[in-house]
Amino acid sequence: MTVADNGASHTGQAAPDLLIAGAGVAGLWLAVKAARAGLSVTLVERGNPGGGASGGFLGALMPHSPERWNEKKDFQFRALVDLETEIRQLESETGEYCAYRRVGRILPLLSERGRFTALDRVADARTNWGGRFRYEVHHTPARSDWPNILRAPQGIVHETLSARVSPPGLLAALLHSLALKPNFDLRLGTSVIDINPQSKRATLSDGARIGFGHVAIASGVDAFSQIARLTGMPLNAIGSGVKGQAALLDAKAPPDLPLVYDDGVYVIAHENGHVAVGSTSENTFDDPAATDDKLDQILKRARKLCPLIKEAPVIRRWAGVRPRAIGRDPMLGPVPGAPGVLAMAGGFKISFGIAHRMADCLVAGITGGDDPKAPQSFSVAYHLAKAAKNQTLQ
């Protein structure tokens, strides 16, 4: 790997097979997968790799519910299953520790109707998840403090597919993997501000221009305005940022506890006794990086939900803006009308669970592979159609 400062110029150097804008979890996975496939890769990041929306510590890897199965749910399911092997490969290659563990998940049941719905899903999970993972309904949790038995008057769902990972650990492993690859170039302190698909050249914020075979836009919330410019849409038409806040507690909790999720509140036991709690979903906000009373409310609910953390001190707070595309699903694949330009954006809350498989899709498209296939609802064209419809209705 080579690393260039923002004052460097690539004039006279061979254009990379793949230029990637953004070094969050999506851009890093894409760089790793592309470099493994033998492509020359240049990754451009204006801040710190693994920052922005990827810089948190929740690390929840949870599936969609198993009923009404479709290609989107199947894509995520396969990604969650495969991630365990992907992380083992990264750890073996780099010696890093990602703190991945398949711990399952508990969902408290508050109503009789919710219990009946959960019971109906047992057969759906057996059909769609196969025999390896379970989706079960129990009268009480195994522990009275995880979650509070009083918060689950109709019992609980316990499923064994969900997992958790340390976001900092995974990002460090991805960066280490790239550092070992001679066909990878990292450019920090600059960003892609303009893309010319016809000349296959990108302009960077430091004034440099760089050619490319393909360019992938994986720059989080900023990706939406770049894709909008390339497709002639209003800048705010195809996606927006949703602020999230989370906290990390020193709870002396066992690391094998299942995730607990209830009505937007996540409680996730990590290594070293730490427990992550989150998260808010704020469509409007003044300061994208500030934590406030909204996080305090989440913490209050989490402490009631899981008495194990009732007195645990907060050791870190975090806030960041996560990208959500107009069609709600991630945005992945070729950008219509812009030859050689690819999108990998809008993962919102599920990026850490599916980014590796999204990267496989893009690399297969570049190299001529035929697997895996992305859901139609992930395509840029699908999101553009949603945006156009919204513009018509306004």
Phi/psi class of residue 150: alpha, beta or left (left: φ > 0; alpha: ψ in -120 to 50)?
Answer: alpha
pLDDT in tens, 245-298: 999 999 999 999 999 999 999 999 999 999 999 999 999 999 999 999 999 999
Decide the pairing of beta strands 18-21 and 265-269.
unpaired
Q: Which of 359, 371, 262, 356 is nearest to 306 (CA)?
A: 262
Identify the structural domains of the chain with CATH numbers, from first to last: 2-55+169-238+327-393 (3.50.50.60), 100-164+241-322 (3.30.9.10)
pLDDT for position 215? 98
CA dist., res. 24 & res. 346, Å (int): 12
CA dist., res. 261 & res. 71, Å (int): 24
CA dist., res. 47 & res. 321, Å (int): 15
Please name the residue that has the structure tokens 């914020």.
Answer: 205
Is residue 1 very low, low, confident or very high in pLDDT (cuts 50, 70, 90)? Answer: confident
- Report helix angle 351-367 to 71-94, nearest 10: 90
CA dist., res. 221 & res. 346, Å (int): 7
**314: its two tokens:** 């907060």
Please name the residue that has the structure tokens 């990604």.
Answer: 79
**4: its two tokens:** 């260039």
pLDDT in tens, 139-188: 999 999 999 999 999 999 999 999 999 999 999 999 999 999 999 999 99
Claim: this prediction has a pTM higher than 0.75? yes
